[in-house]
Structure 1
Amino acid sequence: MYFSGLSTTTKYNVISIIDSCLSVNTEDEFKCKVLGKTEDLFGQGMTACGLADLKFSKVSSLSNLGFPSLFLEKIIDSTGTIKSPLFYRWVNSHSPQNIDEEQKRNDSLSSKQLSPYLEFELGNVLSHGLVDFNQNYGSYFAFAQIAERVETHHAEIIEILIPHLHVAYSRLMREQQPPLSTPITCARKPALVSTNPDEIALDSKEKMLTNSITLTVREKDVMRWLFDGKSNWEIGKILNISEYTVKNYVQRLINKFGAKNRTHVVAKALNMGLIELGN
């Protein structure tokens, strides 16, 4: 992950979303615990995502949080064929797309193509997706009514998140797991995620782990630079140890926390209050 230039709060929120991508089990959980958290990063009022057959440009699944149904009918016809100009621009470029509310235009879109976005007052729009390995289908995520003008750092954040969003959403849509017996309550505007570890709610299992896990000075050093998004090679240079030694420390941390990967171990350490967040 490339975290350079992002604030500590943004780093934490990104890691929290990635961690949630690993643990959600239903579409409702994905909407609340993943898409809901993206509001802390983009401040959007509307979010939608879907899977599409890229060969025929047809939607196979769609999840919507706030987009007007009449707008969706304009960009997806009754057969499921996608008509969104932003979607086709993404298909051709595989890069983040945006519409600037202030300029009321996107450099590649005509006034006619922009009219649905302006008609429904979608404001600043950011979208991106990922083509799956088999090249036959892809996922696409759109965020509208973003509170501030879309800048370079927004594109950087979505570039970091999109592989994790794609894998999680694709998995859930393919598995089609039954809904939970207890309904999930999802607030439209969740509170900002705290960067103070003392304020982070811990489940009972993690509380037990917190009491049982101790880190050596060197493990704390490695964890700190993992949080900053450094590679094994970079950490080795900083700490004046070999890349192989760093790799061993990372694996030791993964095993100690029962994590799935280096990103997951950082997320767990943050939730347990074992990483001090500074400026």
Structure 2
Amino acid sequence: MDALNQAAELGIDPSLLMNIIVRSTAIQDSQALLGLLNNDVQKVLHQDVMVCGVGGVSPKGSYAHKVLHHSYPPAYFDELATAEGRVDSPLMQRWRASQEPVLYQSGRDDALFPEEWVRLFNKYELHNTIAHGVLDVQRTLASYFIFSRIPGEIGQREIFIMKMITPHLHLALVRALTTVQEFSRLTAPNEALSDRQKQILRWINEGKTNWEIAQILEMTEKNVKYHIEQIFSKLQVRNRTQAVAKAMLLGLLF
């Protein structure tokens, strides 16, 4: 069955999909992309909230680098962050394993996901969600698109839509995010970290001590300690674990 016939079988207007594909080729900035997602894509998926972005992929999981969102609750990401600072939902874990669109419908699919995550997802009313993305050829970077609060029963119709539009949205996202200096933040530090402070944060994430960081970066241990205090102040955290967690959430460790 060709795509047009399959769309008709699923009750999808092919002209709406074509419009998304054509419009995505003209996207050059984040506001235009949000307009496409919140208008043209919304006409076919009917989502209430969405988040998309790019992030790193490693054996330890994924983490966000740059993010755009519409009404996605920031507190969800705060609660999802692990002690190591990773923000890696079961949705994205399943997507990495299959690279196929992943569905979650509250009540119907609860048994397929960890109980604690289901509780958290439902707490923020992110029911009826579909996620999909594009993994780069080196398998170190990925784009992702997550649409939530989709009305009614979700299934093959939404999977078909995501398969059709995600590759084109991916290219639009790559272009759009070049206009985002650091990270279109869900929560942002009051003051930007310096390049040196980001270097130190990366070594903290690797478990290095102040002395080891000083040797690696050819600094004094006292200077390293000063920068760490500045990192804590800017990120509004109290310790190294919290600093890594928040930096990971903000994409500062990319």
Identify whether the pair has TM-score above 0.5, normalized to the shorter chain. Answer: yes
Task: Report SS of the residue matched to 1:138.
Answer: strand
Unaligned runs of at least 5 residues, structure 1: 179-279
Alignment of 1:114-193 (within 5 A): 114-173=118-177, 175-176=178-179
Q: TM-score normalized by structure 2?
A: 0.63
Amino acid at match of 2:72: F
Could you say what secondary structure the match of 2:132 adopts? strand
1:109 aligned residue (101, 106, 113): 113
Q: 1:158 to 1:33 in 2, by over 3 A?
A: same
Q: Secondary structure of 1:38's match?
A: helix
Is residue 12–residue 44 contact of structure 2 (8 Å, CA) maintained in 1?
Answer: no
| 1:94 matches 2:99 | yes
- Measured on the aligned residues, the alpha-carbon RMSD in Å equals 2.2
Pick closer, same or farther for the CA change 1:177–1:72 going to 2, 3 Å.
closer
The alpha-carbon deviation at position 162 of structure 1 amounts to 1.0
Q: Deviations over 1:49-80 (max 9, x none)?
A: 01011125221111110111111222346986
**Pick aligned residue for 1:49 from 43, 47, 52:** 52
Equivalent position of 2:6 in the other structure: 5
The Cα shift of 1:177 comes to 6.8
> 1:99 corresponds to which letter in structure 2?
Y
The residue aligned with 1:82 is 87
8 Å Cα contact 2:77/2:87 also seen in 1: no
TM-score (norm. length: structure 1): 0.58
- Does the aligned pair in 2 maintain the 1:98–1:106 contact within 8 Å? no
Query: 1:126-181 deviations in whole A, cap 9, x for unaligned?
Result: 111110223210111101110121121110110111111111101222x3279xxx
Question: Which residue type is aligned with residue 168 of structure 2?
Answer: H
RCO higher in structure (CA 8 A, sep ≥6): 2
Residue deviations 1:21-42 (CA, integer Å, cap 9, x gap): 1001110110012443211111
Q: Distance in 1 between the 2:180 and 2:48 partners?
A: 28
Show structure 2 runs of 5+ residues with no match.
182-254
What is the CA–CA distance in structure 1 between the aligned matches of 2:175 and 2:146, rounded to whole Å? 19
Determine if contact 1:47/1:64 at 8 Å carries over to the other structure.
yes
Equivalent position SS for 2:131: strand
Report how many residues are paired: 176
Judged with a 3 Å threshold, the aligned counterparts in structure 2 of structure 1 residues 92 and 25 are, in CA distance, closer, same or farther, namely: same
Distance change in 2, residues 1:78/1:16 (3 Å): farther
Query: 2:7 aligns to what SS in structure 1?
Result: coil
